Amino acid sequence: MPARTNSKSRSRSRGRTKSASQSKAVASTQKNGSSKARKSRSISPPNIVDDSMSVRVSRRIQDKIQRELSTSISSDHSPGDMVRKSLKITETKVEKVEKKPFNSPAKEVHSEPIAFGGAVGGAALTIFLPLVVYALVIACDKSNGCRHDRIPFIPKRWQQYFDVKIFGVVLGWYVFQAMLALIPLGPVVKGQVLRDGRRLNYRCNGLLALLVTVCVFALLYFLKYDMSYVYQHWLQFVTASIFLSFVLAVFLYVKALNAPAKDHAPESTGSMFNDFFMGLELNPRIGNLDLKFFFELRPGLIGWMLIDWSLCASQMRADGSVHPALFLVTLFQTIYVLDALKNESSILTTMDITTEGFGFMLAFGDLAWVPCLYSLQAYYIYTYPQHAVSNPYALGAICLLEIIGLVIFRGANSQKDQFRNNPNNPAVAHLKTIPTATGKKLLVSGYWGLCRRPNYFGDLLMATAWSLTCGFVHLLPYFYPIHFFILLSHRQMRDEAYCKQKYGAAWEKYCHAVPCRLIPYIF
């Protein structure tokens, strides 16, 4: 699933606040200190190193740095001062320990699989998640009534699940999108600095791909192609998407086994099931095509939007109009996709790109979970228009909720983006901050003073608005905001663990100043 921010070039600002080698020393300092704290890990992943060595700093010195630098909440310490201060301490105590070649194929193994329950959790989720998709799709099929309180009729014939032609359509869709992604138009943006000091290039032409795709869609509509095709063959599309996400995950796993250890993600654990699920390689590529960047934003996300559009187009053709609730949910979700593609480069600083490997979790999320389940509200309204909200006041209230969610979502992401790009930007310079030992600061007022993940909060409000268009007859159309709350809570905890590692006492100070995690004043 895609993670989205609006931080076009955070790394550039990092480059401005400290020199590369200084950054490396501080980052290594942080990293080693925290990995010592996590004693159960036998071997840590490759550290950020300078040209010839790794550095190690004792836990005691770590604590000293944290104490010295994280003593107050302020908005007037310059990042340069903080970095210089931390480096002064670091430089006097750092000792050379070992030379660690990056290209060694040796496996980097952790003894402690951290997220999603390790090997057992990874294996269980690999089986369970596709079943959830099937269960919801089948339950909301027109013959089953979208009831959560009875076991749905399950199609028995394999042909109802599988059609080779549909496989061809779905595969053709991926290839079409890959070709659009490879068009040499649009800006090339640099990714974050990798552990070996490289920065990869990413071609950002998502809006162009969207434009071409929409033109093709319009052409098909005016050529009178059957717009209900996807709806009529929904189960077969779902099977094709799930199957192809498995194929992609197996390919990625095999590819990663042959990749040098330096290309592996920091979370790789050495357990086969866990690595298959979480992904082993950080930035797998085929030629110029960065697979994770591509699959995060293109086939699944644009596909989701087109599924909604096909339902509207089909209803328009059949009835001469589109149900207002279907129109609204399609509009909301289109804005969401547009926003993601407009701010495409910002995904380069999200957890998914910087930290997670590309494995089954993301492949399945991108290719099956997003298009098959995020379109559930539109699918439901199309199938059961009698249950959807049609009262104009209620629809107006839903629009209001969507707008509030969108403002918070975009505002929070942009505020952090502006701050990370240039803390002296007048739009954010007045905000209160907490200095950290890395030289970066944490925002503690504005959106980021409301709760620790205001962008998630905005996202959740929008998710709720989408489901409210479905009315209150059935529970299953509310699957999206319910699961999203769980997903984002878990994601917040995982990211918080990273932040605690990165920022130590400063992060704790932030948590103290902003006690709510996701929902202001409540949670």
* Comparison of 48 and 166: residue with beta carbon closer to ligand NDP: 48
Indicate the angle between helix axes 454-468 and 392-421, nearest 10 degrees: 160
CB of 471 to ligand NDP, least distance (A): 23
* Comparison of 18 and 440: residue with beta carbon closer to ligand NDP: 440
CB of 77 to ligand NDP, least distance (A): 15
CB of 189 to ligand NDP, least distance (A): 16
CB of 260 to ligand NDP, least distance (A): 25
Which 8-state DSSP code applies to residue 447?
G
* Comparison of 384 and 485: residue with beta carbon closer to ligand NDP: 485
- 491 is written with which tokens? 């994601």
CB of 5 to ligand NDP, least distance (A): 4
* Comparison of 24 and 491: residue with beta carbon closer to ligand NDP: 491
* Comparison of 218 and 486: residue with beta carbon closer to ligand NDP: 486
* Comparison of 141 and 366: residue with beta carbon closer to ligand NDP: 366
**Rounded Cα–Cα distance for residues 460 and 149 (Å):** 25
CB of 170 to ligand NDP, least distance (A): 20
Residues lying near ligand NDP in the complex (CB under 6 A) are found at 1-5, 350-351, 409, 413, 416, 420, 440, 442-443, 448, 453, 455-456, 459, 491, 495, 498-499, 510
Write b or e for each residue in 449-472: b if 16 or more Cβ atoms lie within 10 A of its Cβ, otherwise e.
bbbbbbbbbbbbbbbbbbbbbbbe
C-alpha distances out from residue 63 to 69, 438, 495, Å: 10, 13, 21
* Comparison of 141 and 459: residue with beta carbon closer to ligand NDP: 459
Residue 202's φ and ψ, nearest 5 degrees, are -130, 125
493: Cβ contacts below 8 Å, ≥ 6 apart:
none
H/E element holding 422? none
CB of 499 to ligand NDP, least distance (A): 5
* Comparison of 110 and 416: residue with beta carbon closer to ligand NDP: 416
The torsion of the CA quartet 453, 457, 460, 462, rounded to 10 degrees, works out to -130
One-letter amino acid for residue 5 of the chain: T
* Comparison of 293 and 409: residue with beta carbon closer to ligand NDP: 409
SS3 content of the chain, % helix, strand, coil (to 5): 60, 5, 35
Residue 150's φ and ψ, nearest 5 degrees, are -145, 150
Residue 307's φ and ψ, nearest 5 degrees, are -60, -45
Indicate the angle between helix axes 392-421 and 324-342, nearest 10 degrees: 10
Write b or e for each residue in 207-237: b if 16 or more Cβ atoms lie within 10 A of its Cβ, otherwise e.
ebbbebbeeebeeebeeeeebbebbebbbbb
Pair 361, 304: CB distance under 8 Å? no
CB of 216 to ligand NDP, least distance (A): 25
CB of 201 to ligand NDP, least distance (A): 21
**Rounded Cα–Cα distance for residues 321 and 164 (Å):** 33
CB of 495 to ligand NDP, least distance (A): 5
**Rounded Cα–Cα distance for residues 514 and 118 (Å):** 31
* Comparison of 476 and 514: residue with beta carbon closer to ligand NDP: 514
